[in-house]
Structure 1
């Protein structure tokens, strides 16, 4: 997770995969999964605020 928190600097999959010592394909899959979860959490929070 430290890779993704470097002062919110945008990074390419190539750079992330190199630093994680993984191929680009699984890194891409991991990032897409993370993106889906973050989106779900943000939607849940927004709906939660609206209902209050």
Structure 2
């Protein structure tokens, strides 16, 4: 497993991935990386709105 970082959030994946494009949407405040489905989700704060 490799630890990836976005803003002040760290998360584990099988290999290093480039998620810098997410920063265009806003600040990453959480990552849901332990899903049974294998999917990954990001919480993004954009202005006053939180997007999950």
Fold-level similarity (TM above 0.5): no
TM-score, length-scaled by structure 1: 0.25
TM-score (norm 2): 0.25
Higher RCO, Cα 8 Å, sep 6+:
2
Say which one has the larger Rg: 1
Higher helix share: 1
Higher strand share: 2
